[in-house]
Amino acid sequence: MSDEPIRLPPPDPIAVQALVDAFEQAYLDRPTDDQMRPLVRSFWDASWEVRLAAWSILTPRYADNLDKLEWVHRFLAEAVLDVFGVPIGEAGIGVVPRKILLHTDKV
pLDDT at 105 over 70: no
How confident is residue 102, by pLDDT bands cut at 50, 70 and 90?
low
What amino acid is encoded at 53 in this protein?
A
Q: Are 88 and 78 in contact (CB under 8 A)?
A: yes
The confidence score (pLDDT) of residue 96 equals 85
The span from the CA of 100 to the CA of 71, in Å, is 26
Distant-in-sequence, close-in-space partners of 53: CB < 8 Å, separation ≥ 6: 11, 16
Whether the predicted pLDDT of 104 surpasses 70 = no
Does residue 43 contact residue 76 with C-beta atoms inside 8 Å? yes
